């Protein structure tokens, strides 16, 4: 009798490769879904932070009948003045508001040692979880050895930035500028059509030189030969410049945006609506740190925005420019 052989069944090489490819696709889809879910959670957390800041601003207004003002470019930010209204009384007590925050001559500014413990204190409420930059670092423009500042991602709106309103040393068309004491009574178009605050990204913490692409948005450009000064003696001010053209001439880039939540200087704690959210054009600063600072985030497609009536909204980076600029003002207009 002859013997019979039963051939064993096995995967061919092609079948094995197909299975591996399918598994890879499924893993990629799963990873994308997980990342999207994580970003959705981060965006929601960011919105909650802004909502808490909005409640604090409303409580401050209820007490003083105006929103917090900024005495000068060396003084405390709006955010610092809101600390008692976000259950941060202990941190607020670390700040001596009767003493200066920054001292020293122009070009040699340093942190008042009395304010150092509060300045270096990270506060999760002031940080967007989608911005992975470190919490505390030395700010090279304002520092002595050992000085450190905790950064923050939330910035108040100084206005549209059109005309000469980008210079916050003078009254702007927004609710916040140096010496502002604005309140609900000053909003002509309704609180639901006026921005209080939005987001910005922390800088890279170091300077770079040379030409950069226009999507180099984390940095601040210091364009040689330009004077972004409004109404100063002998300086009529730059009016509605083409920022893409200006950025193309820049060769020095500073990495200090949002360097300290405690500092009221424009570059650290304010933004304007001159350009839509997340512009590819970098923020641009001139002399005395005045200039064009914009709303930015790592959220895909736009930024979270806090309106004066207390609600938050995600605004797309494709928003119509004139509507966006009007939202930054207290005078009129609104979303279409």
User: Using one digit for the tens of pLDDT, what is the confidence trace for 181-214?
Assistant: 999 999 998 999 999 999 999 887 777 777 666 6
Q: What is the pTM of this model?
A: 0.83
239 contacts 164 by C-beta, under 8 angstroms: yes
Distance CA 76, CA 97 (A): 8
The maximal CA–CA distance of the chain, rounded, in angstroms, is 115
**Across 287-312, average pLDDT:** 91
**Across 47-51, average pLDDT:** 96
Q: HSE, CB side, 13 Å, CA atoms: give it for residue 222.
A: 13
Domain boundaries, the chain: 15-327
List helix spans (H) across the chain: 13-64, 78-81, 89-93, 116-119, 243-248, 266-269, 321-327
Span 122-165, pLDDT tens digits: 999 999 999 988 888 776 566 666 678 999 999 999 999 999 89
Closest CA to 269 of 277, 259, 282: 259
Q: Which H/E stretch holds residue 197? A: strand 195-199
Distance CA 82, CA 196 (A): 13
Q: Is the pLDDT of residue 2 over 70?
A: no
């Amino acid at each position: 009798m002859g013997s019979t052989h039963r051939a064993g069944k096995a995967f061919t090489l092609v079948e094995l490769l197909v299975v591996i490819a399918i598994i890879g696709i499924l893993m990629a889809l799963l990873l994308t879904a997980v990342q999207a879910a994580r970003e959705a959670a981060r965006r929601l957390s960011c919105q909650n932070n802004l909502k808490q800041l909005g409640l604090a601003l409303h409580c401050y207004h209820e007490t003083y009948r105006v929103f917090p003002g900024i005495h000068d470019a060396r003084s405390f930010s709006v955010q610092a003045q809101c600390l008692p209204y976000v259950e941060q009384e202990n941190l607020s007590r670390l700040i001596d508001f009767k003493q200066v925050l920054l001292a020293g001559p122009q070009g040699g500014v340093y942190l008042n040692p009395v304010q150092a413990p509060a300045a270096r204190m990270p506060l999760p409420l002031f940080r967007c979880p989608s911005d992975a930059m470190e919490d505390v670092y030395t700010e090279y423009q304002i520092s002595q050895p050992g000085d450190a500042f905790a950064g923050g991602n939330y910035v108040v709106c100084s206005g549209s930035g059109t005309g000469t309103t980008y210079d916050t040393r003078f009254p702007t068309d927004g609710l916040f500028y140096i010496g502002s004491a604005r309140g609900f009574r000053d909003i002509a178009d309704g609180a639901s059509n006026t921005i209080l605050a939005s987001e910005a990204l922390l800088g890279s913490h170091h300077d770079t030189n040379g030409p950069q692409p226009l999507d180099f948005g984390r940095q601040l450009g210091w364009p040689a030969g330009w004077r972004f000064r409004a109404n100063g003696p002998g300086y009529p001010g730059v009016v509605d410049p083409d920022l893409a053209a200006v950025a193309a001439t820049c060769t020095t880039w500073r990495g200090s945006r949002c360097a300290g939540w405690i500092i009221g200087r424009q570059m650290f704690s304010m933004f304007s609506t001159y350009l839509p959210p997340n512009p590819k054009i970098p923020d641009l600063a001139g002399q005395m740190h005045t200039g064009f600072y914009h709303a930015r985030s790592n959220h895909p497609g736009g930024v979270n925005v806090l309106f004066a009536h207390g609600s938050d909204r995600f605004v797309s980076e494709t928003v119509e420019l004139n509507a966006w600029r009007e939202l930054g003002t207290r005078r009129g207009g609104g979303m279409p």
